[in-house]
Chains A and B, each alone.
Chain A
Amino acid sequence: MARIKVPRKSTAMDMTAMCDVAFLLLTFFILTAKLRQEDPLHVDVPPSTTVIPLPDDNVATLSVGKGKIFFGIEGTAVREALLDEMGKKYNIPFTAAEKKRFSVIPTFGVPIAQLQQYIALDEEKRKAFPQSGIPVDTTINNELTSWIYEARLVTKSLNNKDLRFAIKGDAREEYPAYKKVVDVLQKQAINKFDLITSLKTK
């Protein structure tokens, strides 16, 4: 009897299709990615069960922690226009280069008098810069109020959308610090805002 020879099959597969898919996905993720940015103020957010995802655009974040308030806004064009308006308001002539540099700073917490000095630093030195937070008091004309007010105007004129506000508070922070920010918002008749929390299971 003749022996039936089983032909040996190669174990190597055709990877072309797999490679195509992998790179397609990779391209998609790279294009949609928004890298996590390091916060200058470390904030430990409290957990909650009822959460909604925060929108990507037209959001200003107010971080509250260690008694300081930091301000951040999305969008490079908005940041540039905002600095321009703030410069006019406080009579600080920001140069075009400074505006450009400012447009890539996601969050900051320095008084406007120190802002030029802060912008001039490079990224590594900015981390070491002692940021004292944005000054806020009970009067109507404090710096935080101006930032919020100008940010709303700029967003409205550039994107024709209402600016949303998100408060990122530290869990251990005492309530009055948070209340201070809410009071500033409420003075401008902003009664709806988001509290950034982490997800907790019931």
Chain B
Amino acid sequence: MEFLSNGFVQAFHLLWSGNAETYSAIWATVMVSSYSICCSLIAGIPLGFCLGYFNFRGKKSVRTVVDTLMALPTVFIGLIVYAFLTRRGPLGDFSLLFTLPGIAIGQTILALPIVIGLSATAIESTDKKLRTAIISMGANRQQLFMSSLWEARHGLLAGAIAAYGRVMTEVGISMMVGGNIKWHTRTITTAIALETNKGQFGMGVALGLVLLTIAFCVNVSVSFLRRRY
């Protein structure tokens, strides 16, 4: 039990003393999760918009597929991405294995279904009468799309936060594709796994608290944005 309280003290110490290894892992985590969340938002929001906005044949089946993909296990994604990125795989020449962009590819795959699914729900739950009102005010197609997106902004944001949480806390992809290489691809979560394997439970707890601190900072800035808009 005592390693829990030790962990609190150690977490503070790591952040305060500017521990180089910890900051390297923080940097890797923030870098790779921002990268993957940007890619998944840029690709996912338009797709989610289409899925929520338009009615087409097979919409329900597409929705079921997207919802199922939300349950993709991270280790499985890691394995699939490894198969493509290994030297002897189809993308081997790009040397992406054991790099941060390699991890980001896997995490984008992880986040994409969440962004698409939750964006579609957000768009669907906007008021349908609003569309009629906007059209009657003489809006063109582009203005109509933009206003629907704007109306759904809180739902879209919730989706983005959910996806960000999943990406930042996953360990399977980072371990399999990144390899937990010190100073390079060691993220906070793979560092926790390593410290636990080494029996340094206090250090593991400390790093977990560091990760929570980052998540807290992200959410504080997001809720600040939400209050303004």
- Are both chains from one complex? no
Query: B-side interface residues toward A, CB under 8 Å?
Result: none
